[in-house]
Amino acid sequence: MPVASAGPGRGPAWWWLGAHGGAGVSALEEAVPGGRDAERAWPAAAEAQPVVLVARSSARGLAAAQNAAQQWASRMVTGVDLLGLVVVADAPGRLPRALRDRVRLVSGAVPRLWEIPWVEPWRLGEPHLPKACASLARDLTRLTRPA
């Protein structure tokens, strides 16, 4: 993933970084106020930027998340405080075992994992705040609160 300047001054409380197109960043940006879309580039600045990686639970989405996590872990990206990974369900129902195993594998490379279930209202373009997003919002507020 590319690296882009986060710009001068204080940015958002955190950046949503979509590991791939259609990851769910727009829906999360509306459902969990406080973050801003990093537009698929690691935000770099003099002060470490808090970043939340976002991916769909599809094989393609999890592979993209794994690549981004490896990029971060290898220290190819500096000036980033990776808070964790949000995996947004790509379909209703339970994940197939192969994808559950892939989520577990990828989550081992990031500090935290949040899983957001399928949200039918999002598919229809309707605002909705699932319980999992309320928990995510609480965690991110706690993690980005100034010391």
Record the pTM.
Answer: 0.91
All residues at 6 or more sequence positions from 106 whose CB lies less than 8 Å from its CB, including other chains: 55, 62, 65, 66, 69, 85
Question: Per residue of the chain (147 residues), what is the pLDDT tens digit?
Answer: 767 666 544 568 999 999 999 999 999 999 999 999 999 999 977 788 999 999 999 999 999 999 999 999 998 888 899 999 999 999 999 999 999 999 999 999 999 999 999 999 988 988 888 888 999 999 999 999 876
Q: For CA atoms 38, 32, 89, 71, give the dihedral sign.
A: positive
Amino acid at 82: L
- Calpha distance 78→41 (Å, rounded): 12
**How many angstroms from the chain centroid is the CA of residue 106?**
13
Residue ranges with strand state E in 8-119: 14-18, 35-37, 42-44, 49-56, 80-88, 113-116
pLDDT at 62: 98
Contact residues for 91 (Cβ-Cβ < 8 A; gap 6+): 57, 118
Token match 């997003």: residue? 133
Q: What is the pLDDT of residue 105?
A: 97
Q: Could you report the per-residue pLDDT of 77-119, keeping only the tens digit for each?
A: 888 999 999 999 999 999 999 999 999 999 999 999 999 999 9
Contact 127, 21 (CB under 8 A): no
Q: What is the pLDDT of residue 11?
A: 67
pLDDT at residue 47 in the model: 84
Tokens of 85: 């990974």
